[in-house]
Structure 1
Amino acid sequence: MKRILLALAFLLPGMAIAQSKPNIIFILSDDHAYQAISAYGNRLVQTPNIDRIAHGGALLTNNLVANSICGPSRATLLTGKYSHKNGYTLNEKTFDVHQETFPVLLQQNGYQTAWIGKLHLGSLPIGFNYFNILPGQGHYYNPDFINNNNDTIRYKGYVTNLISDFFFNWLQGRDTSKPFFAVIGEKATHREWLPDIQDLGAYDGINFPLPSTFFDTYDTREAAKDQDMTIDKTMRLAEDLKVHQPFGLQHYEQDKPRLQQWLQKNYPGRNFSETELKEFYVRQGEYHRLDETQQQAFNHYYRDKVSKDFDEKKLSGKELVKWKFQRYLKDYYATAKSLDRNIGKILDYLDSTGLSKNTIVIYASDQGFYLGEHGWFDKRFIYNESLKTAFAIRYPGVIKPGTKLDALVSNTDWAPTILDIAGAKIPSEIQGRSFLPLLKHQPIKDWRKAAYYHYYEYPEPHHVSPHFGLRTKDYMLVRFYKGVNSWELFDLKKDPNQLKNVYNNPSYVAVKQQLLQQLKALILEYDDQEALEIYNHHL
């Protein structure tokens, strides 16, 4: 019998690899806040299928990103490097696909690879046997996809459902003699938060409580005060909350006077023909993609219900801001509902085919997101709601169900951990480390005591000053530069919401000096020359 098995392994090397190496699915959502997930303690909204992953394996409670913004986070996933090393510091750049990425290494180690859905790196991926990706940010309804034949095709339907369908199609047609690695890149829950039609109004029966920091005055925090990402002033009634938003031409005559008034204000002295008026009316945002059935559903909900409620209440001041907050969360959570439902479909498919026995499933978001904390939406800041991101992993037979990992993990660690799982060598250029031993309850003596962070994008689109810093278990130290030049220090035990900057507090002199030394050591370790120059000259 032993000789027969050896012969089969010799004759069918691909099959031997498939039997010995696990499949890996990495579900990467966009802007899905950890505090929006029931496994992380949300009691008003349930995410049963993300919870299935967490309960069946491990939930990371301190998974932190190195740069809290969409494209750079994906670049860090692919490279295991900080933004200053992989070259992708800002959104809307072009990622250098010719640098070493871990999917290429997986291919070299016998894996079949795929990326399906949102990529958002300004370039077509390398290292994937198959891809079918959204151009740029993509669209929620009737989106375009670019496949690995370089064809751009528009598909009818809702983006989250389509991404799942493409994944199932690929699974069914893959080379089953090889293990597979697949990224499912979700568009949800990115702005402007368009739910699937079946989920419109799903949370209208809930009155979401305001976060305790909602009316934050940003005392002692100059950079937090000088930003443009508040629900009050930045969030748009029409584009974001769909108040009086046109869905098709059904309400054109009714809205025409308001449209003409707006155009006269923003385009003084210009005359628009009737054809131009109609074209301008229907081509706002992505709503021109809606077909007639979708338009009717959106008009029924947003025009007949939401806009009517807005008009009847005639709110202003803080009451208007509270109303905007409620509408924001209702759309945000409704958009996340289809995300969780489709994750359930994926898990059910794995169970029904028997693949779940040898398939690792990871769920993560590209970064955290503000759900009204500090009065904000969006991300970018080093503060906890933006810095910390969801991460759950199920590894049958290896990770004990119900595991919670409290260690400080960075998204630079995602790539080396996947390579470690796959039995592939981790290149020395990768700046992160595998946390697989920690998931197995095997201690790592020299595991990080502080996580490094560096954000760059300024001034557009949200006027958040660039900054670098570190987060330890108990403290956060930050250096803002360019827009605002300041240091911030927070005692996370006493001030978990990062409201009181104690950098100049005499009681924290010793702590400050220790953290400054730690920060410089991390800057040198990760070779961040820009941060080093600022640190040395503006301490």
Structure 2
Amino acid sequence: MGDGAPDRPNVVVVLSDQQRWDTLGAYGNPMDVTPNLDRMAEAGTLVENAFTPQPVCGPARACFQTGQYATTNGVVRNGRGPIDAGGTLASTFCEHGYRTGYIGKWHLGDTRTEPIPEENRGGYEHWRAADALEFTSQPYEGFVYDENGERIDFDGYRVDALHDFATDYIRDAAASDEPFFCFLSQLEPHHQNELGRYVAPEGYDYRFREPWVPPDLRERRGDWYDELPDYYGTCARLDETVGRLRTELEDLGIADETIVLYTSDHGSHFRTRNGEYKRSPHDSSIRVPAVLSGPGFDDGGRIDEPINLVDLTVTLLDAAGIDPPESMQGKSIVPLVEDGDATWKDEIFFQTAEVQVGRGIRTNRWKYYVTAAEDDPDLEGAGGYVEECLYDLDSDPHEQINLVGSGRSTYAGTYDDVVADLRERLRQRMAAAGESDPEIEPAENWR
């Protein structure tokens, strides 16, 4: 951390659900959806290329809380919780004298609409949360549970209600002599399940009635045409609460002592790549926003290297002066913020399950992805995989042309040469994540 940074800064995480990176103006969205986050990115640190390790709600959250890949922490699909409370983000902060609080959607307790036992809360002390919040609430009403398992009802727009729970906790924690860690897990902009659509605050869909359409969605079937106005509207309301949060920190006199991270669990491809919104290898599923501010991250600029959510887990501890548990598999980006020339890996690794069992790596140029060869593979992995896709992100940033098995030539050889290199790198990343060394069957040449 730089000179003048507090020894034990407070840490606040705001995690949205199913939010694409390009909803932020900082990433190029032209509709002024997120002016507060854009200002936060300008004054703080923007991670240009941030990705989820697993593009579905429960596994992504488990990865973030544990700093481990899904096949290590065991939450390879929804309904596979709970996580081990030892060595988590919250338990590690607790061990170092931090107060910890969790607000919002948990999705790791496997209790659905019932209270989550204390031992299944990942080490958090203060608690205002529900396991499957989408089933204990509607966009304008619902309930969560407190640390005693008592139901707390709320009304008003859900984003605002959860934000208010978080600010209540922050005010209380700020009055003590201990540093605090607050994790606010919003449900928006995730679609409301039983409605099968996104629900913006009243009038906010009208603000975006002629939406900018991300290039990867154009000319693809899906529900983006009808859903983008509400989707942007929910993101706009999330952004407003970020502005209110930062104002609250300033009013409490602790803004200079508090790290704030805003990110999401995964993105949304609006049913363009499969029959639902995520669980695919495309950037629309795996790429997420990531903006940091506060001590150590103000004036951090843009980080271009590929960053995974498990890296951000370790980063928060490192920025607070805490050595991460050896069980965590990420790498702190603090050296990148402090020194733009710091060494960094060239790819991120991700896993998929449920719709298909797959493994992939993404560099700044290439996306390489394989799927399980068996008809009914074990959900935690497979003994063999088949190459599914290769995208050249330099010439095809919106992943429209699958080059795997093409046999075509590049300026430096053939795509088969590229695939051979990526195949070996993927196997190494799978082994590093604790998976067995698989057989990967090359795609058939389709020339």
- TM-score range with shorter-chain normalisation? 0.7 to 0.9
Match of residue 130 from structure 1: 126
- In structure 2, distance between residues paired with 1:522 and 1:56: 34
- In structure 1, distance between residues paired with 2:429 and 2:35: 38
Structure whose CA Rg is larger: 1
Match of residue 438 from structure 2: 533
Match of residue 346 from structure 1: 245
How far has the Cα of 1:20 moved from its partner?
2.7
Rate the CA distance shift 1:105–1:129 in 2: closer, same or farther, 3 A: same
- In structure 1, distance between residues paired with 2:216 and 2:330: 35
- In structure 2, distance between residues paired with 1:365 and 1:494: 27
- In structure 1, distance between residues paired with 2:433 and 2:300: 33
- In structure 2, distance between residues paired with 1:528 and 1:191: 33
Rate the CA distance shift 1:538–1:334 in 2: closer, same or farther, 3 A: closer
Match of residue 352 from structure 2: 455
Query: Does residue 1:215 correspond to 2:219, yes or no?
Result: yes
User: Greater RCO between the two (CA within 8 Å, min separation 6)?
Assistant: 1
How far has the Cα of 1:58 moved from its partner?
0.7
More strand by share: 2
Per-residue CA distance 1:76-126 (angstroms, 9 max, x = gap): 111110000000010133222434212111111111111111222125313
Match of residue 185 from structure 1: 185
More helix by share: 1
* From 369, 375, 389, the counterpart of 1:478: 369
Contact 2:33/2:235 (<8 A) preserved: no
TM superposition score normalised by structure 2:
0.85
Rate the CA distance shift 1:157–1:73 in 2: closer, same or farther, 3 A: same
Pairing of 1:242-257 with structure 2 (within 5 A): none
- In structure 1, distance between residues paired with 2:142 and 2:276: 25
How far has the Cα of 1:338 moved from its partner?
1.5
Pairing of 1:400-411 with structure 2 (within 5 A): 400-401=298-299, 403-411=301-309
- Shifted more, 159-168 versus 502-511: the winner is 502-511
Match of residue 172 from structure 1: 171
- Aligned-partner SS, 2:263: strand
Superposition RMSD in Å: 2.4
Rate the CA distance shift 1:151–1:381 in 2: closer, same or farther, 3 A: same
Query: Taking every aligned residue pair, what percent have the same amino acid on both sides?
Result: 25
Rate the CA distance shift 1:97–1:150 in 2: closer, same or farther, 3 A: farther
- In structure 2, distance between residues paired with 1:516 and 1:417: 28
* From 112, 117, 120, the counterpart of 2:107: 120
How far has the Cα of 1:536 moved from its partner?
7.6
Contact 1:215/1:374 (<8 A) preserved: no
How far has the Cα of 1:504 moved from its partner?
1.7
* From 55, 59, 64, the counterpart of 1:72: 59
- In structure 2, distance between residues paired with 1:185 and 1:433: 23
TM superposition score normalised by structure 1:
0.71
Match of residue 227 from structure 2: 328
Rate the CA distance shift 1:149–1:523 in 2: closer, same or farther, 3 A: same
Query: Does residue 1:203 correspond to 2:102, yes or no?
Result: no
Contact 1:450/1:473 (<8 A) preserved: yes
Contact 1:23/1:180 (<8 A) preserved: yes
Letter in 2 for 1:508: Y
Letter in 1 for 2:357: P
Query: Does residue 1:488 correspond to 2:372, yes or no?
Result: no
Rate the CA distance shift 1:442–1:176 in 2: closer, same or farther, 3 A: farther
- In structure 2, distance between residues paired with 1:69 and 1:97: 19
Query: Does residue 1:39 correspond to 2:26, yes or no?
Result: yes
Contact 1:135/1:144 (<8 A) preserved: no
Match of residue 90 from structure 1: 77
Query: Does residue 1:355 correspond to 2:246, yes or no?
Result: no
* From 256, 271, 294, the counterpart of 1:395: 294
How far has the Cα of 1:373 moved from its partner?
6.0
Contact 1:89/1:456 (<8 A) preserved: yes
Rate the CA distance shift 1:210–1:171 in 2: closer, same or farther, 3 A: closer
Contact 1:63/1:391 (<8 A) preserved: yes
Unaligned runs of 5+ in 1: 1-17, 217-229, 232-323, 459-464
- In structure 2, distance between residues paired with 1:424 and 1:212: 40
Unaligned runs of 5+ in 2: 111-115, 193-197, 376-384, 408-413
Rate the CA distance shift 1:54–1:373 in 2: closer, same or farther, 3 A: farther
How far has the Cα of 1:22 moved from its partner?
0.7
- Aligned-partner SS, 1:468: strand
Query: Does residue 1:522 correspond to 2:429, yes or no?
Result: yes
- In structure 1, distance between residues paired with 2:349 and 2:42: 29
Contact 1:84/1:528 (<8 A) preserved: yes
Rate the CA distance shift 1:325–1:497 in 2: closer, same or farther, 3 A: closer
How far has the Cα of 1:377 moved from its partner?
6.0
